[in-house]
Structure 1
Amino acid sequence: MNPQRILVVGAGHVGLYAALRLSKKLGSREAQVVVVDPQPHMTYQPFLPEAAAGNISPRHSVVPLRRELRRCQVVSGAVTRIEHARKVATVQPIIGPPREIEYDQIVVAPGSVSRTLPIPGLHEHGIGFKTIGEAIYLRNHVMDRLDVAAATADPETRRCALTFVFVGGGYAGIEALAEMEDMARDALRYYPELKPEDMRWVLVEATQRVLPEVDRDMGAYTVQQLLKRKMDIRLDTRLESCVGGLVKLSDGDAFRADTIVWTAGVKPAPMLDRTDLPRDSRGRVTCNANLQVVDGGTVVEGAWSAGDCAGVPDLTKPPGATCSPSAQHAVRQAKQLADNLRAVIRGRLPEPYAHKYAGSVASLGLHKGVAQVYGIKMTGIAAWAMHRTYHMSRIPSLNRKLRVVVDWTLAFFLKREVVALGQLHDPREEFLEATPRIEADARS
């Protein structure tokens, strides 16, 4: 019997973990695992705030695919179309014409993208916080704004440069806000022209609470801690416009800001629009508890999905509930999906995924945190330590675990790096200015 070709679309939490487990649990005569992703690495997103704040090296928050998936075929490109009726996926490589890849089984795990709203000015002035590139950009941007504020003599320019707005009070928004404020406050020791009270950090949240994954008292504690750090917390408030950097809020306030970070939720990857797979009202691939794609209750043979892009029933909650888009579910779903796919290939029945949400941990800056795990609530340095311990244990590969621990250990003895490398975002600018433009000879 020829080995089955398993095509894994996306190498995020689900794709990487599922491919890694499949390649270890299935022999080469049983299956060939092909992984397609535009990036050569998997980003461990819970570490983005620490990477942005300089607590760990950005390279240590990503996992190289070819190093980890040595038993898999890795294709660097983007899946542009899935025709499951033909069991064919169209892949656009980094360079060259598109190619079709046939498969026997497909794992659809492209993940999610930022869920934005049609807000005037957001496209031009907003910064996302879902990729390592965005995290590095935000760090350099914040440090650059400190340089701008220190160099200018104009009060309005300084005020605008030192106003930082974060939209969205979930874990991504709270951690990004807290870590960046902690980094900027630490950096001010090198800016005698600036004082901590010159900075204005604003959190805009459309609901009446932050951190909806934990109990209200833990969310209230988080708000209290941020208020103690003189942050401006706007609950039950929406961003209505930011044209030209002029931030207008639903509570009537308006002010200028050079930094607007959007962390208000996620939505399934747009690539799913170009597939013939069934989807629910939120655009997610419809699945059963076995992580098989289903169409009206009927299993779509050979199709599997999990993670942020999938509507997976949550068996620990009342009927109709689905699993939240979190790394905690994605990692566990990937393991169950791989085991179920292996079972089906070997002629056995798959088993349902059931995991009661263990809780959440969040960092609020160096030595500060909040945690609620299996009903146990912690705050301060204990929660911060749990946050680090948990995520260090979850990032794939011993190589990355050791590098992260080394970064943290060095941080106890060495001061945080607080330098901007803004030229990373446009490295050819200086060379272009120094190089004269030569018009091509029309006769050549």
Structure 2
Amino acid sequence: MPKILIVGGGYAGFYTAWKLEKWLRSGEAEVTIVDPLPYMTYQPFLPEVAAGSIEPRHAVVSHRRHLKKTNVVSAKVTHVNHAEKTATITPPIGEPYEFTYDIVVVTAGAVSRTFPIPGVADQAIGLKTIEEAVAIRDRVLTNFDQAAALPAGPERERLLTFVVVGGGFAGIEVFAELRSFATSLLTLYPEISFEETNFHLIEAMGRIMPEVSLKTSLWVIDNLAGRGAQIHLDTQLTSAVDGKIELSTGETFETDLIVWTAGVMANPTIVRHTDLPIEERGRLQVRADLRVGTEDDIITDAWGAGDVSCVPDLSGGGVGGNCVPNAQHAVRQGKLLAKNLVAVLRGEEPVQYLHKNLGAVAGLGIGVGVFQSGNLAIKGMPAWFAHRGYHGLAMPSWERKLRVVWGWVNNVFLGRDVVSLSATENPRAVFEEFASRPKPPAPAAAPVAPAAKAPTAPRAPRAPRKPTVKAAAADAAAGTTKAPTTANAPVAEKASAEASASK
């Protein structure tokens, strides 16, 4: 069987594998999907996850649960050598290894694109993953807890100031959702007033949400201004060192949360490590039929879709003639890619991707939204229902749809869950603090050096002991009589005379 390798399990990769399982005949091909994460993230729900309106696990789709015929590998593809049809797979544990394929599908997605602004890399957080959305939610809740225990002052103001950089759909949605979230929290924090919460959105262009009409975008600005949120247009962030925001207008303030949504770029792990053609903006060059290549040159057995790819927009509505990187295109391209791939395997011709955008819909917090389709614009509660209805149906699999919709229903009666789980970032902290540890062995005693003896005074010479007559006689008999000294000569002579007499 031909071996199909899908690089990336996001929108386009997941839908490609999902539809291949449906359309491939038994034994027609073997499909392997490789992604460092074991799930697909439904990114349009990330703003609501950040605002506590959706349970984080409900906004992701498990690969292994829903891809039952596909080989799922939780690892990174770090190099694609299409000339030899091999890919380097780097698992989280173990050594990298080579994977040989017959057909490659590159759907590696995109990552946040930043600029070398001082402090951004150290202080900001993106909004491309479920983990980032959860961290934003926990930071807002933690800041409210800390601010409620502080007196009015600079530190309290810093904790209650929130900044979003980027005025596209993702930026406006998370900005509005966080404003709605913070307002709902005030009933639980009587120590904090509405006026103490500060929300700033920074946009370098002269307008927000280019996907909708200017009139609609101005309505969004007015709506957010009435809710206590400030939007800085024609303004650039010049510094964010240690959370101190400096704007090109000269305005400065401090914050504890900076959310970066100012653009995306194709996943550099793939586009910088492959021999497949890359276009000038750093994306995989893909034809309208989703095969890699140009109109005049086709790279055989190589396909691409989603945010990592530059796909021509035949509808004429794209930027620069190409499809913009968003969920609408990624989902539809993934479905068509699977259909075209099966067609080519069976000797049929692929069809070109053509999708005319039917409109744009955005949620701006509970009960507020906007919908734009051509000249038709809907605002407020009806647009909010349209937003939830569209994305609720677009969520893949009925199992996921039911979880999301059931969560929304619960929130109507129970409200949003407002418990911060930021402690999960270091789950062993409490255990480590109180865990018993073996006592360290006592250090070996050092050998004690002998103490130096104090010098003693020289003894006075002892006077010689006078031998008795009996001792002298015994010595004489044994023949050990020592030569008498001058001092005891008379005694010795007397003892010798007595000895002779006794004999």
| TM superposition score normalised by structure 1 | 0.96
Contact 1:363 1:384 in 2 (8 A): yes
Contact (CA 8 Å) 1:361, 1:372: kept in 2 or not? yes
CA contact (8 A) 1:112 1:267 kept: yes
Q: 2:218 & 2:93 partners in 1: Cα distance?
A: 50
Which of 163, 187, 190 does residue 185 from structure 2 map onto?
187
Are the equivalent residues in 2 in contact too, given 1:183–1:418 (CA < 8 A)?
Answer: no
Deviations 1:265-299 (A, max 9, x none): 10000112111111111100001100110058310
The answer to whether the 8 A contact 2:287-2:311 is kept is yes
Q: Which sections of structure 1, spanning at least 5 residues, go unmatched?
A: none
Q: 1:84 to 1:189 in 2, by over 3 A?
A: same
Counterpart Cα distance in 1 of 2:102 and 2:111: 28
Q: Give SS of 1:165's match.
A: strand
Q: Which residues of 2 match residues 237-256 of structure 1 at below 5 A?
A: 237-256=235-254
State the distance in 2 between where 1:266 and 1:30 align: 36
2:262 maps to 1:269: no
CA contact (8 A) 2:86 2:99 kept: yes
More displaced stretch, 318-327 vs 224-233: 318-327
Counterpart contact for 2:286–2:292, Cα < 8 Å: yes
CA shift in 2, pair 1:34/1:439, >3 Å: farther
2:169 is aligned to 171
Equivalent AA in structure 2 for residue 358 of structure 1: L
The alpha-carbon deviation at position 433 of structure 1 amounts to: 2.7
- Residue 317 of structure 1 deviates from its aligned partner by 1.1
Show the counterpart of 2:480: none
Q: Aligned to 1:182, what secondary structure does the other structure show?
A: helix
Q: Residues 181 and 201 of structure 1 are in contact (CA less than 8 Å); yes or no, is this contact kept in structure 2? A: yes
Q: Secondary structure at the match of 1:190?
A: coil
Q: 1:440 to 1:288 in 2, by over 3 A?
A: farther
The 5-angstrom pairing of residues 300-315 of structure 1 reads 300-315=299-314
In the TM superposition, residue 373 of structure 1 has moved relative to its aligned partner by: 2.9
What is the distance in 2 between the residues matched to 1:440 and 1:358? Answer: 70
Give CA-to-partner distance per residue, 1:10-39, whole Å, 9 cap, x none: 111100001110111012321111000101
Please give the secondary structure, in 1, of the residue aligned with 2:272. Answer: helix
Per the TM alignment, residue 435 of structure 1 is displaced from its structure 2 partner at its CA by: 3.8
Distance in 2 (alpha carbons) for counterparts of 1:433 and 1:269: 40
For residues 400 and 374 of structure 2, the distance between their equivalents in structure 1, rounded to whole angstroms, comes to: 27
Task: Tell me what 1:288 maps to.
Answer: 287
Code of the residue aligned with 2:366 in structure 1: it is L
Which moved further from structure 2: 43-52 or 295-304?
295-304
Separation in structure 1 between the aligned mates of residue 81 and residue 231 of structure 2, nearest angstrom:
47
Give the residue type in structure 2 aligned to 1:38: P
Equivalent-residue separation in structure 1 for 2:135 and 2:404 (angstroms): 21
Structure 1 residue 205, shift from structure 2 partner: 0.4
The aligned counterpart of 1:397 is: 397
One of 77, 80, 86 as aligned partner of 2:78: 80
Q: Distance in 2 between matches of 1:108 and 1:120?
A: 33
Contact persistence 1:137–1:425 (CA under 8 A)? no
2:379 and 2:180 map into 1 onto residues whose CA distance is 17
- Identity between Structure 1 and Structure 2 (%): 48
Aligned equivalent of 1:217: 215
- Helix, strand or coil at the partner of 2:367: coil
Q: Is residue 35–residue 76 contact of structure 2 (8 Å, CA) maintained in 1?
A: yes
C-alpha deviation, 1:40, in angstroms: 0.7
Q: Is the 1:359–1:375 Cα contact (8 Å) retained in structure 2?
A: no
Residue from 126, 131, 134 that aligns with 1:133: 131
Unmatched segments (≥5 aa) in structure 2: 442-503
**Residues 403-418 of structure 1 aligned to structure 2 (within 5 Å):** 403-418=403-418
- Is this contact kept in 2: 1:168–1:203, CA < 8 A? yes
The aligned amino acid for 2:43 is Q
**Contact 2:362 2:371 (8 Å CA) reproduced:** yes
Give distance in 2, aligned partners of 1:75 and 1:430. 34
Contact 2:41/2:61, CA 8 A, preserved across alignment: yes
- In 2, the alpha carbon distance for the partners of 1:411 and 1:373 equals 29
After superposition, what is the alpha-carbon deviation per residue over 1:348-383, rounded to whole angstroms, capped at 9, x for unaligned? 111111111122110000010011135431110111
| Paired residues of 2:317 and 2:357 also in contact (CA < 8 A) | no
RMSD: 1.6
1:369 corresponding residue in structure 2: 369
Secondary structure of the 2:75 match is strand
Q: Deviations over 1:80-122 (max 9, x none)?
A: 1100011111111221111211111111011000010101011
CA–CA separation in structure 2 for the residues paired with 1:436 and 1:121: 40
Q: Which residue of 1 aligns with 2:357?
A: 357
Call closer, same or farther: CA 1:135–1:318 in 2, change over 3 Å.
closer
Equivalenced residues, count: 439
Query: Which protein has the bigger strand share?
Result: 1
Cα distance, 1:382–1:201 mapped onto 2, change above 3 Å? same
Q: Find the residue that maps to 1:389 and give its secondary structure.
A: helix
CA distance in 1, matches of 2:159, 2:232: 20
- Residues 430, 310 of structure 1: alpha-carbon distance in 2 compared, 3 angstrom cutoff: same
Q: Are the aligned partners of 1:246 and 1:254 in contact in 2 as well (CA < 8 Å)? A: yes
**Corresponding residue of 1:64:** 62
